[in-house]
């Protein structure tokens, strides 16, 4: 792969450096909700969430993405107090864990509310992942700027309750690029440094199965915006459509294929559920497409 002539500045979060393009970074999903599409109810107690955080960290996740609001198709918005009550105790418990590796793990808060973002960062979160691209809460971009943390801006139309009725695009990639570029410029205008912005085209959010496949093929179009690109294909319904598999937890192999495609086409971060399995996928895919051979690999 040719070198990037305009490399994106690295993120420095806690004890690690995110050098974009050097390898694929993995964001482990930690849904502390009763109703998420794949794992709702599995980790909605503090003890269960911390245990899953420990497992994801041991599997090599670079970021834990903690969310207290389901964004599955059809999901309704929960009250602010409920989201805070789900997210904050988990962030706080991770930060005071006896395991120093877990306690120092990079944490993202998956929220569209500036109040949740602010409270989570004060509790120990390191960045914000906003699936609305900061369109649901007018204060989100100013909050990210004030907190001095990175923000991931995702493309969506409508809300999770209505998005799958809004999949009519004249130019799928062009329209998504335009949206992300507008939100990127809005973030910069609000005081967010350009090197603190990552972008997500929103696989599964207001897209048909065929459109999701097209986005995976065209990830490099989003690289022209000169921000890290996050791709979240994990266990999504387009994989179930291809495999005729209604159970999201049985879509691991399909997720692996989608993750390989994302890496081959330039994704910087993968948001995934199956930590150990996708860590292996990323390690091999990085060796193939990024020529990244881990230092602990024996020569053969």
| Cα 121 to the center of its chain, rounded Å | 17
Given the residues 54, 271, 283, 290, the one annotated as active site: 271
First to last CA, the chain: 23
Our answer to whether residue 220 is catalytic in this structure is no
According to DSSP, the β-strands at 25-31 and 269-272 are parallel
Q: Among residues 23, 72, 236, 251, which one is catalytic?
A: 236
Q: Which two tokens stand for residue 188?
A: 């910069």
Check: CB of residue 109 under 8 Å from CB of residue 116: yes
239, 245 in Cβ contact below 8 A? yes
271 is an active site residue: yes
The answer to whether 44 and 90 are in contact (CB under 8 A) is: no
What's the full length of the chain, in residues? 300
Q: How many CA atoms lie within 13 A of 214 on its CB side?
A: 11
Catalytic positions, written as ranges: 236, 271
């Amino acid at each position: 792969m040719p070198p990037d002539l305009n490399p994106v500045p690295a993120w420095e979060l806690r004890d690690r450096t995110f050098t974009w393009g050097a390898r694929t970074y993995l964001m482990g999903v930690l849904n502390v909700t009763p109703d998420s599409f794949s794992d709702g109810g599995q980790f909605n107690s503090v003890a269960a969430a911390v245990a899953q955080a420990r497992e994801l960290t041991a599997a090599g996740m670079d970021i834990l993405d903690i969310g207290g609001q389901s964004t599955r198709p059809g999901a309704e918005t929960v009250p602010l107090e409920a989201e805070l009550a789900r997210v904050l105790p988990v962030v706080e418990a991770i930060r005071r864990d006896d395991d120093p590796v877990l306690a120092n793990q990079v944490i993202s808060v998956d929220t569209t509310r500036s109040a949740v973002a602010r409270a989570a960062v004060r509790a120990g979160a390191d960045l914000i992942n906003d699936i609305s691209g900061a369109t649901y809460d007018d204060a989100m971009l100013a909050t990210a700027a004030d907190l001095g943390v990175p923000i991931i801006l995702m493309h969506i139309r409508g809300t999770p309750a209505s998005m799958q009725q809004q999949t009519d695009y004249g130019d799928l990639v062009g329209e998504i690029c335009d949206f992300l570029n507008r939100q990127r410029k809005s973030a910069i205008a609000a005081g967010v440094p350009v090197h603190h912005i990552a972008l997500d085209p929103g696989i599964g959010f207001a897209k048909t199965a065929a459109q999701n496949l097209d986005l995976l093929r065209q990830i490099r179009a989003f690289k022209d915006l000169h921000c890290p690109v996050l791709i979240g294909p994990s266990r999504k319904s387009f994989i179930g459509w291809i495999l005729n598999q209604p159970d999201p937890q049985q879509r691991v192999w399909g997720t692996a294929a989608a993750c390989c495609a994302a890496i081959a086409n330039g994704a910087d971060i993968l948001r995934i559920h199956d930590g150990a399995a996708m860590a292996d996928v990323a390690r091999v895919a990085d060796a193939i497409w990024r020529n990244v051979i881990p230092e602990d690999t024996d020569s053969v």
